[in-house]
Structure 1
Amino acid sequence: MRGTLIFSGSSCPELTNKICQNLGMARAEAELSQFSNGETQVRILTSVREKDVFVVQSGSPKINDTIMELLIMISACKGGSANKITAVLPYFPYSRQSKKKSHRGAITARMLANLLDVAGVKHVITVDLHASQMQGFFKCPVDNLHAEPLIARWIRRNVPGWQEAVVVSKNAGGTKRVTSLADALKLNFGMVTTDKKRTHGYHSAQSMASSMITYLDGPDRQPVFDSVSNQMRHAISPESDNGAATTDNGDSLQNAPSETDAQSSDIPFNGNGNSRPQINGRNKPAPKRSQTLLSQSSTIDDLEDVDDVDGFEYNDRRAYEVTRGRLVQGHIVPDDFPSPVMSAAETSVAEEDPMTMSHASSFFAPQSHALGGSGDAGASSDEEDDILKDPKVEHEVTLVGDVKGRTVLIVDDMIDKPGSWIAAAETVVKRGKAKKVYCIATHGVFGGDCLEQMQACDCIDAIVVTNSYPIPEEKARNASKLVTLDISYLLAEAIRRNHYGESMSPLFQHLMD
């Protein structure tokens, strides 16, 4: 390509060489060095005037040094009168910090986008952003490529019996990525979730919260049947002098007929002693006995929906494709395994006092979130792994989906820490009775001894990543389960299409063999 120069940072020279080889051109020369105090120095050794410049730099273990290298190279090319500068970032640094996780947290990914804009970037090419919404951080166009077509092609060629495989997400946050691959391969999908084991204190708090719903919803609340205690809850009448619970006509609750009496005599029951219950001011036939098995959180308004379904019976049976297990220190344990020894204070789940909540709906929130809202800013993979490794906390792991006798493809965007991957693999094998497990991700970060631990896990048969993130040769050589896919052709074609102004749409298509 005439008028084009491709520079490489220190993080991925091999990947850059493959990109240049696919394009039939040589890599542009630049000198990268550091002063004795650690400052980065860059010298561009070729003319960039009126040229289309591409700087290839990915994340690396020395992430902050590589970022400064990238910014200085971009600034040097801008100072050399380059026509257009495009940053090619196979792995975008700080992509996991794309939202606030606390009130005083920083959105570091947005700050890095601003730094690239100030340095002089006019276009960004990256692969599988941790959150696709990050494209809105940039003031320049962003091409967020996907490794999914490459991964899907590898699965069709290398996974025996892939037509019967199941694509599984190791957490709730990765379901969109998993369903996308499952749709491309026409496969079923599932999910593995972990949560702290609920203790007696938690259930008692929930019961107290449920018992307060009637009062908080207002004194005009109609009576509600409780299938657990077979008693009827009433709103506390403000006219009662002694504070005792009364019915709407002022009678004492002790004198009011009970639900059991009403059902034994087959007489429709309501709080006023009438022969039919009054719902929203109308007389309505009493529901069948099988239809009155309502949960604690049901309201009298739900009775209308029950009557509309003839013969429907409520039950609490679990779905057949939901499997649960126990997780201690990140590993599946038998049902008879002794629970971690904890004091009474440690066993209670930290939750807000239901008595101090201001609205009844707050009782049903599964977890309170620091920033409120939907709780989208959940814990990162690092934080999840730290929690799983806590020896004092037992977790309950849930597998949704049927994987018995099938090959499981656990998919995410990156592999950094091994805890959640090993827990998901052990869950589908030891609980779900899966046949084989493939751990697949775009970016193989492999922090610490992650790769060694996943290699030692008997439940994992293969670890599939791309070369978007540099993996040390010694680590790769000692990991027999590691499979590295080459994305140099994808990036080379993106550079060529960007230079000639062609559409990027064909790079997102799945090409059948």
Structure 2
Amino acid sequence: MVLVSGTSNPILSKKISEFLDIPLVNPQLRRFANGEIYCEIEKNVRGADVFVIQSTCAPVNENLMELLIIVDALKRASAKSITAVVPHYGYSRQDRKSAPRTPITAKLVADMMTVAGASRVITMDLHAGQIQGFFNIPFDNIFASPVLLEYVEKNLDRSNLITVSPDAGGVERVRYYAKKLEADLALIDKRRTGPNVAEAMNVIGDVAGKDCIIIDDMIDTAGTLVQAAKALRKNGAKKIYAASTHPVFSPPAIDRIAACEELEAVIVTDTIPLSESAKQLSKIKVVTTADILAKAIHRTFNHDSVSSLFI
């Protein structure tokens, strides 16, 4: 097994390397004067099973192109298999035609990864499950729920807890958390008026006097999260928490979370590295996914079941 790290999330790559007790190979990545990316793999990978760890987070296009170039370099170096480990799958929200004459960019990214030479993809908490069908190669969608649930069970009072979905699309995800936590479920009726613009309307479910935890797959500009927290407080909720896998945190997310008095804490994972301003905000709690991803990599290498991690 050979572990190759891109530059998007070096801390997570290092943790995965430590869990597996396998040294990281850092490819020589350089930029030409016009911004073109040059890659050279200095380790011999001929006949090896290679795992490339790279989140396609901001800057999305740079990190995606870097991943494709690394995979192409490995393919041309005669690697036996190349597994792209993409903790955060960029462009995952563009999974269908939402309006006339619009692209399905998640499918385009899938095609590019396959053509570049990836023989398998491992990712975490896809925004839309149907993206798995865009690939004609094996695809594993790993869940971050074990580490998020572990944090909730250890740090929050579950006796008065209710799980909340910020929109109708996330109900299935939240129902899973509600079952594991033996908690009730509530739903926020969210209306979108434009990209990254959301207005929370009605709360469906009884949250009065309850401690609420809003569960989502990603937090981008935090507009939905803040509106949801305000709607819950208006309906009588006591303490309000949030849990999300991918801390995208595009501006002005950090400012919104900091200014939101209703939110007690926001629990996220390390699939995307935090900015310096996010690290300074005490409300934001980070749990690592390195253990789960390392186990998924190890089981893939040994041809063992990955789904058994969650059963």
Counterpart of 1:169, as a letter, is S
1:466 paired to 2:277:
no
Q: Report deviation, 1:483.
A: 0.4
The question of 1:166 aligning with 2:177 is answered: no
| Counterparts of 1:167 and 1:102, CA distance in 2 | 32
Please, what TM-score do these two structures have when normalized by structure 1? Answer: 0.59
- When residues 384 and 177 of structure 1 are mapped into structure 2, their CA distance, relative to the original with a 3 A threshold, is farther
- Paired residue for 1:187? 183
Asked if residue 386 in structure 1 is aligned to residue 164 in structure 2, the reply is: no
What is the deviation of 1:449?
2.1
Deviations 1:311-359 (A, max 9, x none): xxxxxxxxxxxxxxxxxxxxxxxxxxxxxxxxxxxxxxxxxxxxxxxxx
CA drift at 1:41: 0.6
State the Cα distance separating 1:163 from its structure 2 match: 2.9
Which residue identity does 1:383 align to in structure 2? G
Match of 1:443 among 211, 234, 246: 246
Confirm or deny: 8 A CA contact 1:9 1:69 kept in the other structure. Answer: yes
TM-score by length of 2: 0.97
Code of the aligned partner of 1:105: T
Q: Does 1:454 align with 2:263?
A: no
Q: Which of 41, 44, 60 matches 1:44?
A: 41
- Kept in 1, the 8 Å contact 2:30–2:37? The answer is yes
Residue number in structure 1 paired with 2:13: 16
Q: Which residue of 1 aligns with 2:279?
A: 477
Q: Equivalent residue for 2:141? A: 144
Aligned mates of 1:479, 1:387 — CA distance in 2: 24
Structure 1, gaps ≥5 residues long: 196-378, 389-395
Could you list the runs of 5+ residues in structure 2 that have no partner in the other structure?
none
2:208 is matched with 404
Answer whether contact 1:6 1:28 (CA < 8 A) is retained.
Answer: yes
Amino acid at match of 1:46: K
- Contact preservation (8 Å) 1:410, 1:440: yes
Aligned residue among 67, 73, 76 for 1:76 = 73
Alpha-carbon separation, structure 1, partners of 2:94 and 2:197: 17
Percent identity over paired residues = 38
Q: Which residue of 2 aligns with 1:58?
A: 55
How far off its partner does 1:383 sit? 2.9
* Alpha-carbon distance in 2 for matches of 1:174, 1:387: 15
Structure 2: distance between partners of 1:69 and 1:419: 30
2:190 & 2:70 partners in 1: Cα distance?
44
Aligned partners of 2:142 and 2:279: how far apart in 1?
Answer: 28
Letter in 2 for 1:504: V
Tell me how far apart the structure 2 counterparts of residues 72 and 194 of structure 1 sit (CA, whole Å).
39
Aligned AA (1:113) = A
1:417 aligns with 2:228: no
The CA deviation string for residues 424-472 of structure 1, in whole angstroms up to 9 with x for no partner, is 101111x221111111110000001202211221000001110001112
Distance 1:177 1:23 in 2: 29
Letter in 2 for 1:172: A
Q: Which has the larger radius of gyration?
A: 1
1:280 equivalent in structure 2 = none
Question: What letter corresponds to residue 24 of structure 1 in structure 2?
Answer: D
**3-state secondary structure, aligned to 1:77:** helix
Match in the other structure for 2:97: 100
2:291 aligned with 1:489: yes
Contact 1:168 1:189 in 2 (8 A): yes
CA offsets, 1:378-410, max 9 Å, x none? Answer: x6xx9364354xxxxxxx721111112111010
Match for residue 115 of structure 1 among 103, 112, 117 = 112
Letter in 2 for 1:411: I
Aligned equivalents of 1:387 and 1:81: distance in 2? 48
CA contact (8 A) 2:6 2:26 kept: no
Q: Is the 8 A contact 1:168 1:178 kept in 2?
A: yes
Counterpart of 1:47 in structure 2: which amino acid? N
Matches within 5 A, 1:171-250: 171-195=167-191
What is the number of equivalent residue pairs in this alignment?
311
Question: Distance in 1 between the 2:146 and 2:26 partners?
Answer: 33
Q: Is the 8 Å Cα contact of residues 198 and 223 (structure 2) preserved in structure 1? A: no
**Residue 384 to residue 505, structure 1, CA distance change in 2 (3 Å):** same
How far apart in 2 are the matches of 1:22 and 1:163? 34
Closer/same/farther in 2, CA of residues 424 and 29 from structure 1, 3 Å limit: closer
Letter in 2 for 1:406: K
